[in-house]
A and B are shown apart, each in its own frame.
Chain A
Amino acid sequence: MSDELQPVADTEPIKDPGLAEHQFRPQDVDEAQAKRTERQIAWMFRVAGLLFLGFCFAYFLIDIDDTFLGWSAQNFAFGMTLGGGLLLVGVGIIQWAKKLMGDHEMVEMRHPSASSDEDRVAVMKDINAGIEESGFGRRPMIRNSLLGSMALLGLPAVVLLRDLGPLPHGQRETVWKKGMRLVNDVTGTPIKPSDMQVGQLVNGQPAVVYETDADGEPVLHGTELLQVKSKASIIVVRMRPEDVTPSKGRENWGVDGILCFSKICTHVGCPISLWEQQTHHLLCPCHQSTFDLGDNGKVIFGPAHRPLPQLPLGVDDEGYLIAMSDFPEIVAPSYPELARDQKKLDNKS
């Protein structure tokens, strides 16, 4: 161990005066004071005991629906009795330790964390004896084959995890397809262009979300439904046609200024819905990525990189809004194969 930075003793400006004289507490010198403290502490424990009993009474006497000052009466009574009792027990014990228990400071010497040099030498000797007697060093064949098999044991451990889930698939598609109606997210009713006012935003879903089979049971439910919603949720907005500047190829994706975008943020997938009518900006409440819906869903602020995918719209024979295809761009947060998948989508269309 290097001692180069060890301060030299006689350069110390002040000598260690040693431990301060013991200060007696009132309880040490005055028996009456000690008795008083003892009584105080005993009362804390007694009241705590009563509070614990009170907890039990509350459990059986207070109804689960009762309220107290707007709180659940039970929660209040349980918490106050339990918490108050515990606090009194704790404070009582600490008071006991501080005021009545012996308070003579003790000095204990430290020992170096390191073992003695002899012990270190002895341990090295033992380890070497172990290596020597096992022949670990002398018999490389047996050693290496063991190490090899141990390394291979890692493989079953990894392979065993294979069935944690399926391989990635279907990330580039949603349930949207040509002809599927847009429906209101809350009521499930299809949307007509005439239902929408300029400046309005409607949260929507693909019609399949509300579809039922012959028995009246929903086609999608449980996890499947959540998975569909987490990719196919949309927002439908109506802007004045002159406020919309569609990029090339998107001129006919809207119907009378009605445009449809994915509701799922391209950043980490929060559903976006904070709509600024005047600026036609859409703000994600999670990380404040902001998209300009008048400008093809372009990102104008925040951590998102990709524009909000747009769904090409049309109108069916009954005059309801429908999708003309699936999203031409990939919805939901980015993933490593996104660039490749996007190329495949581009080639398809």
Chain B
Amino acid sequence: MSTTEQYTPIEQTGVGKKAAGPVGWLDDRLGLAGVAKKNLRKVFPEHWSFMLGEIALWSFVVLLLTGVFLTFWFQPSMTEVEYHGSYLPFNGLEMSQAYKSTLDISFDIRGGLLIRQIHHWAAALFIAAMIAHMLRVFFTGAYRKPREINWLIGVGLFSLGLVEGFAGYSLPDDLLSGTGLRFVDGLIRSIPLVGSYLEFFIFGGEFPGDEIIPRLYMAHILLIPAILLGLVGAHMLLLVYHKHTQWPGPGRTEKNVVGYPMLPVYAAKAGGFFFVVFGFTALMGALLQINPVWVYGPYNPSEVTAGSQPDWYMGFSEGLVRMMPGWESTFFNYTWSWNVFIPAVGGLTGLFVVLGVWPFIEQWITGDKRDHHLLQRPRNAPVRTAIGVAGMTAYGVAWAAGGNDILATKFHMDIYTLTWIFRIGFFVFPVIAFMVTKRICIGLQRADANRILHGYETGVIERSPEGGFSERHAPLPAAQQYTLTAHDRVPVLEAPAETDANGVAAPHSRKEKLRARVQRFYYRDTLDKPTAEDVHHAEEHLGHHDGHPVELGDEFQGVSETGVPRVH
């Protein structure tokens, strides 16, 4: 069956000749060859962690495809109608058209339920992949100059993604999503001074009004996806323009990028990966039920189910609201609902603002204005890594608090005690996480230095004439040693000059002093990599000191990342 045929260059095939090659016809009109020349064989570096953003990209495409299908039948209307569809328990029940059409898609349109479930799973995956990708970028320092703008675009994609997801799961107008909207109504009302006006304008009257579903629909299928698409395009363009970051290693420097060409290898891998993501979400849609709106019933403001939860990515926001004490005050004859405004509005904006400004804060601390194309291992930036883990811990506590009722019943705990643990933990656990993470990073840095200076453990136990046992160490292969040391030295920190050359108090000295202090905090305890001299000494020690130059067998294939020799 399989034959490898002789390949004919495209410009010599029949069609190719006629059009002087596809390049000719198009290029006469669009002048594409100039752009294509640079990009068709563009090099992309390879690492598993570079795939996370790709998952987000492809699940977004799956969302667009399945979303279009759903619009054929979904009716974004809050007009009440009587149900007479296939789902018999609701026969004759009054419900909104939005809810009815969602039931129709689930029960009467062939494949409708599958596409609905794929859509919802892809949405959950989209946000999860964006977060994972963002963490990868954060912990490896990939957001550093010149990529700060792309980081900001990413923060925009993340925040809009959350809003888009929320708008989407609110559309079916079922009891669960209606409860979510009721919460949003409370959140809008809590906005100081203008809350009531915003509520009446957004809902078209007092909650629930009859406008919110059509308006959310417009935002969900037009406004936000259009912005998301634009931002995704910009994100990709900048990726191509800056060229992808890469891990340091032999032959991989700040000045080059080493990897495989876009055509054919990356086009095939990335294109194939789209089918994998689509296939994966389709299998989830087939086997794992998600958002069974017929179980919840139509929205009714006097009903709620115990254990109501938002979709997972809103869980942290929900938790912040649950943890917050009931603070409310009256100033100037106005009511200020801190109990809702601080956690709900403040929590979300706070997260986005912190994410957005971090690259610039770090740059201010380090004073590092160079371009960076080599990624950092998290251990080599201990304070950044620790801050990141502290942030994740705070997020995790808030997220857990968002399910405090479920946790309380599952673990038979008192819900008030649990809430207090979260309230205190939200402030305490991140500090602990910071300290532990920083120590782990420094420990790992020491282990790296050890492997460079003392080699790896060969597993060969020697007995000395005195009867002592020791394990023989052997030097790492040069490539490994290089990879472990291919990162920046810890800069020598200098206290800012109190006075300038003429003895006059230096301007900005207060700001500079603060910066120096933060800088010390940022670099304190960070282990520097060994110097050339250290390595030279170590070589002598390893090679000659004990009089046993290490002989490695023929089957020695280098060592793995963890220092274990690979022997086949």
Contacts and interface: CB of A to CB of B under 8 A. Distances in A.
Interface of A: 1-7, 10-20, 35, 38-39, 42, 59, 64-65, 71-72, 74-76, 78-80, 82-94, 96-98, 101-103, 105-110, 112-114, 161, 164-171, 185, 203, 205, 221-223, 226-227, 229-231, 233, 263-264, 267-271, 273-274, 285-290, 299, 301-306, 332-340
Given A13-B534, A335-B196, A109 B255 contact: yes
Contact of B275 (A64, A86, A167): A86
A166 B369 contact: no
Interface in B379-438: 404-405, 415-416, 419
29 contacts: A10-B532, A17-B482, A78-B111, A78-B286, A79-B285, A79-B287, A83-B279, A89-B279, A90-B275, A93-B272, A94-B272, A103-B265, A105-B260, A107-B251, A165-B201, A165-B209, A222-B79, A230-B302, A267-B186, A268-B183, A271-B304, A285-B304, A303-B340, A333-B190, A333-B340, A335-B195, A336-B192, A337-B334, A340-B334
Interface residues of B, number: 140
A147 to B, nearest CB: 27
B182 A269 contact: yes
B303 A271 contact: yes
B275 A164 contact: no
B367 interface: yes
Contacts of B416: 290, 301
Interface in B173-210: 179, 182-183, 185-187, 189-197, 199-210
B185 A269 contact: yes
A75 B114 contact: yes
B525 interface: no
Given A5-B491, A42-B1, A76-B286, A223 B78 contact: yes
Contacts of A306: 328
Tell which of A15, A87, A286, A334 has the most Cβ of chain B within 10 Å.
A286
B531 A227 contact: no
A289 B302 CA distance: 17
Given A80-B286, A165-B200, A229-B302, A16 B276 contact: no
Given A264-B301, A303-B325, 16 more contacts: A3-B370, A6-B370, A11-B531, A14-B482, A75-B286, A83-B281, A85-B279, A86-B275, A87-B275, A97-B264, A165-B211, A269-B186, A302-B326, A305-B328, A334-B337, A336-B194
B258 interface: yes
Nearest to B269: A97
B446 interface: no
Interface in B239-285: 241-243, 250-251, 253-261, 264-266, 268-269, 271-285
B304 A96 contact: no
Interface stretch (B133-141, B305-313, B510-518): B305-313
B42 interface: yes
A285 B334 contact: no
Contacts of A233: 301-302
Nearest to B266: A97
Contacts of A107: 43, 251, 256-258
B333 A14 contact: no
Contacts of B117: 75, 79
Most buried by A among B256, B328, B373: B328
A336 B199 contact: no
A299 B326 contact: yes
A109 B256 contact: yes
Given A87-B279, A226-B208, A270-B179, A108 B404 contact: no
B110 interface: yes
Contacts of A299: 326
Contacts of A74: 110-111, 113-114
Nearest to B337: A334
Interface centre among A16, A88, A167, A222 (most CB of B within 10 A): A16
A126 to B, nearest CB: 22
A286 B276 CA distance: 38
A110 B326 contact: no
B533 to A, nearest CB: 8
Contacts of B111: 59, 74, 78
